[in-house]
Amino acid sequence: MKKISLYFLLALVGMLTTACNEDFKDWNDPQSWPQEDAIVIPGFAATAGDVVDLNAITADDTVRIFNLPTTTLPEGYALADARVIANPTDINTVVNTKLECATDGRMANAKEALQAMVKSTYGLRPVARKFTCQVLVDAKKDGQAVLIDAGAIEIQVIPEAPEIEEAYYLTGNFNKWDNSNTDFELSNGGADPYENSEFTCMIPAEKVTGDLEFKVTPKSGLGGDWSKCLCADGANEGKFVGNNKGDNFKFAAVADAKYYKVTFDMLNTTWKVEALNFADYIYEIGSNTSWGESIPMKHVNGQGEYVGYAYLDGEFKFKPNGEKDNWTGNWGQDANGAAGSLVLDGGNCKVDHAAWYMMTVDLSKLTWKVTELTTIGIIGDATTGGWDSDTPMTYNSAAGCWEVTTDLAAGQLKFRANNGWDINWGGTTAELRNNGENLVIETAGNYTIKLYPICDGKSHCTIVKTNFHRT
């Protein structure tokens, strides 16, 4: 037997004294290793294996996680089991993922476990991810065992995932098969594509004559490089393939469709097309109405954009219907997307403080935003401030309106928010709309004015002359 140090022998004897009883911790206890006493053998230190590329192995393959030196153990002892306790190196989190290995450092059926480990900590971007691993091994003799700490190593794992480019474009019969055209961009709202892998594009039906037919050109292929195009997988419906090796994507024209929504999931290699016909209204519902009443929002531009106004005081969502308990087809915040991105059956949208807001939803881009209305007032030559300054109104929470009692001259006026013209209302008292015509005051006098901002077609006001007479 190779001569070993007296220090090691003493440490080993002490370990064996405790290890030969029935209190020895089994490997299957994931929380036990930090509490176990482990010895350190001088010169017996693990080294890391090669970078593990999960794109290059199968589910049944073994991979080498670490290497061990050939240090001779005391007579009769042999390495029996090994494991590593892995934690991500580059992020501040502790997960203690246990990876079972053979004593030669190889891990059987490694792909699933390593993929899950990387995904849960770093996500699926296909770059080498670093993990700091504590290597622990058993040495056994006659049923007795001693735990050996083989030190810490750093391993690198590349998760299995396709390479996703930053942008993709539709090339088809609606843009004359121009491989340089970027009018129809597939977008995921600017999120990390490995967190939100769904890319969408809206095609106005008026741009299409007959059926849809197209390919998908990645940004790197613009300008005539068809070899990189995504194509339909002829053998698997709803799937796509790369490198221009499949068929053209095809979708039959739908009568009365206003838009075609194209969706590609770049991680799961799936695609679909939906024919859309935007309704006149969608609805907001949330804590502002105790999740009961729905606030209508008007379709304002024929391209999927809706605008409405409401007092928001917490969480809310959007629905295609105004029915209290009907949540079919609702939209909420995409948990995996950028702030202000929508997804079907998503989470609740939120505002950080209670206030009046203009709400904007774009169903063609699946986005939402709110603009706080810090002030609402009247302005015009009928008001005391003329067209130079607003006469402020006060919010009446009980009546759900903005109101003011003031003297008016014969003339014209409008309502506006935030002392600017980006948000203003005009038209008639029964039907106000953004950027509508000036309202006319026929007779000078003292008036009580109440504004109910809801949405185009439903916003309205009252302008009632009082019995008050100036002296």
Hey, what amino acid is at 141?
K
Same fold, 168-276 and 281-372: yes
Beta carbons of 289 and 324 less than 8 angstroms apart: no
Alpha helices in 102-170 (DSSP H): 110-121
What pLDDT score does 5 carry?
Answer: 39
Is the pLDDT reported for residue 199 higher than 70?
yes
For the cut 90, the answer to whether the pLDDT of residue 426 exceeds it is: yes
> Looking at the domain covering 376-465, what would its CATH class be?
mainly beta
Return the pLDDT at 25: 38
Residue with tokens 């073994």: 62
The class of domain 6-158 in CATH terms is: mainly beta
pLDDT above 70: residue 57: yes
pLDDT band at 185; cut points 50, 70, 90 = very high
Work out whether the CA dihedral 13, 18, 22, 25 comes out positive or negative. negative
Span 256-263, average pLDDT: 88
Return mean pLDDT, the chain.
Answer: 89
Q: What is the mean pLDDT of residues 444-458?
A: 96
Closest C-alpha to 65, from 84, 92, 90, 89 = 84
pLDDT value for 470: 57
For domain 281-372, the question of CATH label 2.60.40.3620 is answered with yes
Alpha-carbon span 169 to 218, nearest angstrom:
6
Q: How confident is the model at residue 195 (pLDDT cuts 50, 70, 90)?
A: confident
Q: Tens digit of pLDDT for each residue in 266-322?
A: 999 999 999 988 889 999 999 999 999 999 999 998 778 999 999 999 999 999 999
CATH class of 168-276: mainly beta
Averaged pLDDT for residues 16-39: 46
Q: What is the CA radius of gyration of the chain?
A: 34
Average pLDDT of the segment spanning 85-91: 96
Residue 468: pLDDT band by 50, 70, 90 thresholds? Answer: low
In sequence order, what are the residues at sequence separation of 6 or more whose Cβ sits closer than 8 angstroms to the Cβ of residue 187? 167, 199, 200, 201, 365
Matching residue, tokens 């009247």: 378
Is the pLDDT at 3 greater than 50, yes or no?
no
Nearest-angstrom CA–CA distance, 68 and 236: 46
Supply 243's token pair.
């490198």
> pLDDT, tens digit, for every residue of 337-352?
889 999 989 999 999 9
The model's confidence at residue 36, banded by pLDDT at 50, 70 and 90, is low
* pLDDT on residue 191: 84
Per-domain boundaries in the chain: 6-158, 168-276, 281-372, 376-465
- How many CA within 13 A on the CB side of residue 463? 25
